[in-house]
Structures are given as structure tokens and as C-alpha cells.
Amino acid sequence: LNRRLAEFGTTIFAEMSALAVKTGAINLGQGFPDTDGPESVREAAVRALRDGRGNQYPPGPGVPELRTAIAEHQLARYALTYDPDREVLVTAGATEAIAASLLALVEPGDEVIALEPYYDSYAASIALAGGARVPVTLRPRGGRFRLDLDELRDAVTDRTRLILLNTPHNPTGTVLTRAELTEIAKLAVERDLLVVTDEVYEHLVFDDAEHIPLASFPGMRERTVTIGSAGKTFSFTGWKVGWVTATPELVGAVRSAKQFLTYVSSGPFQYAIAEALALPDSYFADFRADMLAKRDLLSEGLRAAGFDVYVPAGTYFVTTDITPLGESDGFAFCRSLPERAGVVAIPNAVFYDHRDAGAPFVRFAFCKRTSVLEEAVSRLKSLA
């Protein structure tokens, strides 16, 4: 294994899902729904398979139907205009979109700023590109993990190539506000930075939180690579359909890298996701309402079990602090939790360079059936 990858080992998601299988514990670790997405979308995939659409290599940028549906989605939801032929690229999930963006845009030695805790593939993709990661830590204040804008400003150097942003944010559940995004946009313009923004949880925002794409801020459309994923929005994480929207130059660059990673992927599923993106608003509203109820069920249960809970404004994850349980090491806690309570969770420390800053935080996923969450909550009560 080369030196660039040596520090990464096996992803925490694989490790914890394997632990869940081995122990029979309830898996609230890896973020995948235990109920598949809409029947009509599955039928659309079956139709595509039967009709012979996408069974051979689809076009490099993705099938036209899906690229058009992605452009229409960005226009209808956010008033962002993208040319489906030149400004949209379909990828093998958001994971490939992230890797291809970094491989395409980062020169060896370039600095890449990422919000810490960061989704694990960011660190690995930055490393594969030969970049140096510069974490800016989100810190809990007033019940929410916050970005310190001065710290972000101070992190920018002459070697900074881009900011890798994520909102709604995994694992903290923070949704960046209009005011925060305005400042990030100003900084990017001022220092002439690109921003790669991972918005895969765009449809999972709760209460008063609003998802505002960074590309919609002044001066940002031309310097932003926006990443989306059907896995999160439609509960088909196994289909690996993701996408990038950006200017023709940026999409062209990402495509240059993407063509040598997978070339193309997910043929028949691309047609099905084109149909999914055109589902009525009620689908998106119902999905959000369902997840909101689950968020509240799990958050209350975790509080009753003795955790400090950071109720998320977005995503399907809730981050907790285990300090009130008399614990301080999230790793050790997560390794022992299957035995102690029959539940699997993720230690947030793996998403930090400053491991100490993340040590007491543990993430639970709530994209699970209500009965499963109820059982998990009842088991966790034994900790209190």
C-alpha cells in the first residue's frame, strides 16, 4: 500500500457494520436506510432493464434523461440554471464525485480546507490527489456544532486550492446558515478559491433550517462544484448514482478524472433516478416528515439514556456526547456498545485530525424503521 493511503486502513463504516453482523446488534452505525426507496422508482429500474436501456455503457457524462432531470431539479428548487449537456456529470455516487473532483482540481502539495469532523472519504480523496488537508474544527456551542469564520479565514494560505464543504453536515447534523454561507462565499471570492460542496443531504433539513446551495451566492456559481446523490434522497444507497453540477470547465475537469475511475456506472438505475427526481413535492415532504419523527424518537431516547444530544438540523444522524455517562473515549465506547446494549454506533473521533476534539462524540443513524429505533432506545436505557 502506498504511503498516501497507509494511514486510512478499513473504513469505520465497514468495521462497525461487520461488528453489528457478528454480534447481532442493531446497526445505527453506517448510514443506510432499512427500507428501500419508492416502489415506482424500483419499477422504473426494472422497466429500464427489461427495455434494454442502460444495459450497455451509458454515455460518459450520464444518460441525457438523468442530466436533464438534475438540471431541472436545481432550477426548480434553487433557481440555479445548468446546461444538462455541458454542466452536469453523473458519477458513481457522491463518493466518486468527491474523489474525481479532488483528483481533477488539486495539484500535489495544494492545501484543501475541510470542516472537521469530515466525512471519511474526504481525507482519503485529498490524500490520493496528493493534497494536504487543513481541518477547520466545528465546535459545539448552544446545542449546535458551529463553524468559527475567523478560524476558517485564518486557515487560508497562498497554497490553499479549495474548500471542501459539506452542508447539511455529516456527522454533526449542522446546516450552515445563510449568514455563514455568505461569509464563506465572500472569502472564496476574495481569495480566489474553488469550493467543492457536498450537498447529498439537501432534502433532509428540519424545523426552521433551510438548505441553501453555496452556488447560489454572489460570485460562487463559477467557482463551485456541487455534489448530490440519489442514495440519500431516494433511499437507494446501493445504486450508486451521484452527480456534479458546475461550469463547463469544472465539469470537464472532473470528467477527465472520472473517466479513468469508473468511466461510467449504474446504467439502468440512471433512468430510474431521472424519474425519481421528477416525483411530486409530496414525496420529498413525506420523506422529510418521516425522518423528522425518527430524529425526535431517537434524540429523546438517547437523552433518556443519559447522553447529551445535539439534535440535528439536517441529515439522518444524531451526534451525542457520552461524557454524562461517565465515558470519555468514543472508540472504546462504540467497541463495547454491542455487548453492553446491543447497539452499534460510530465514534466521531475517526472524522477528526484533532482526535481529542472528537473523543467524546458518538453518532447514531436514525434512517431505520420506527420499531427498530424503539427497540434500540429501549436497549440503550440500560446504560442510564
C-beta of residue 19 within 8 angstroms of C-beta of residue 12: no
d(CA 66, CA 90): 8
Question: Would you count residue 135 as binding ligand PMP (CB under 6 A)?
Answer: no
The residue count of the chain comes to 384
Helix then strand then coil, in percent of the chain rounded to 5, is 45, 15, 35
Minimum distance from residue 260 beta carbon to ligand PMP (Å): 18
CB of 200 or CB of 205, closer to ligand PMP: 200
Among residues 27, 95, 270, 320, the one that binds ligand PMP under rule CB under 6 A:
95
Distance (Å) of CA 313 to CA 167, 181, 201, 265: 10, 16, 11, 32
Among residues 28, 31, 98, 172, the one that binds ligand GLN under rule CB under 6 A:
31
As beta bridge partners, residue 229 has 242
| Residue number closest to ligand GLN, CB atom | 31
Distance (Å) of CA 212 to CA 74, 125, 209, 375: 11, 25, 10, 35
Phi first, then psi: give them for residue 267, nearest 5 degrees: -40, -70
Minimum distance from residue 30 beta carbon to ligand GLN (Å): 5
CB of 126 or CB of 341, closer to ligand PMP: 126
Among residues 33, 38, 84, 93, the one that binds ligand PMP under rule CB under 6 A:
93
CB of 95 or CB of 270, closer to ligand PMP: 95
Q: Considering CB under 6 A, how many residues would be counted as binding ligand GLN?
A: 5
d(CA 275, CA 265): 17
Stretch that binds ligand PMP, among 229-237, 245-253, 267-275, 369-377 (CB under 6 A): 229-237
Question: Collapsing DSSP states into helix, strand and coil, what is residue 91?
Answer: strand
Residues 3-22 that bind ligand GLN (CB under 6 A): 11, 13
Residues 310-349 that bind ligand PMP (CB under 6 A): none
**Contact map string, positions 193 to 212, toward ligand PMP, x by CB under 6 A:** -----x-x------------
Residues that bind ligand GLN (CB under 6 A): 11, 13, 30-31, 170
